[in-house]
Homo-oligomer: A and B are copies of this chain.
Amino acid sequence: MKEKLGPMNALYPTPTTLVGALVGGKPNFITIAHIGIMTHTHISLGMGKIHYTNAGIKENKTFSVCLPSEDLVVETDYCGIMTGKKTDKAALFDVFYGELKTAPMIQQCNVCMECRLDRTVDFDTHDIFIGEIVQTYADQSILLDNHPDISKLKPLLFDMNSKKYWSLGEEVGKCWNIGKQLKTGKA
């Protein structure tokens, strides 16, 4: 029999991201791992309303989602501890801009997605910002067949229950493939 834990979120791990926005005209980055995938080109950020960055996303209707690799764990965690209200977190990185002009991105992140705000889903405590991906920027060194190679990217995986970052492990199997062995021929 299973234990009842109460309404506990166990939907982890998720990739840890550095979300970029202009706040008061200045680039700022916040660490967000409460992310979501809506459609193939729409992604979401679950951001507590107390955060400094939310106003910048609402003002410019643009943001970036940058993927730090394991080697950026210290900087990434720092951006989740400090508030942009008091700290210039952009000074940690080389910042660049893309097509939207108002979504700051991080050169040190091997993959950055530039997003246009599609809509906001409102909760009492959180703004859920849904972005349409407009352009994706990646370092040649982590590409395989023009797609990001996740084994080279080495994303920082977040788990709220252990309060730890985790690395990616080994391949387990091919999607839409390994399950075919259960087909009986009747389907």
A interface residues (Cβ-Cβ under 8 A, vs B): 2-15, 17, 33-44, 46, 65, 67, 70, 73-82, 86-87, 92, 96, 107, 111-113, 119, 121, 123, 125-126, 128, 130, 132-140, 143-144, 146-151, 153, 155-183, 187
Question: Are A182's CB and B125's CB within 8 A?
Answer: no
Question: Are A13's CB and B77's CB within 8 A?
Answer: no
- Bound together, the chains give a CA A187 to CA B150 distance in angstroms of 35
The copy count of this chain in the complex is: 2
Q: Measured between C-beta atoms, what is the minimum distance from A22 to chain B in Å? A: 20
- Bound together, the chains give a CA A38 to CA B43 distance in angstroms of 11
- Within 8 Å by CB of A38, from B17, B81, B128, lies B128
Which one of A5, A11, A130 has the greatest number of beta carbons of chain B within 10 Å? A11
- Within 8 Å by CB of A175, from B137, B146, B165, lies B165
Question: Are B172's CB and A170's CB within 8 A?
Answer: no
Provide 8 A-B residue pairs closer than 8 Å at the C-beta atoms, listed in order of the A residue. A6-B136, A9-B37, A13-B157, A42-B46, A44-B44, A81-B176, A144-B162, A150-B162
- Bound together, the chains give a CA A113 to CA B6 distance in angstroms of 10
- Bound together, the chains give a CA A9 to CA B41 distance in angstroms of 6
Q: Measured between C-beta atoms, what is the minimum distance from A52 to chain B in Å? A: 13
Q: Measured between C-beta atoms, what is the minimum distance from A82 to chain B in Å? A: 6
Q: Which residues of B contact A158 (CB under 8 A)?
A: 175
Q: Measured between C-beta atoms, what is the minimum distance from A46 to chain B in Å? A: 5
- Within 8 Å by CB of A123, from B42, B125, B126, B157, lies B42
Q: Which residues of B contact A155 (CB under 8 A)?
A: 12-13
Q: Which residues of B contact A130 (CB under 8 A)?
A: 121
Say whether, besides A3-B140, A38-B123, A87-B187, A161 and B148 are in contact (CB < 8 Å). Answer: yes
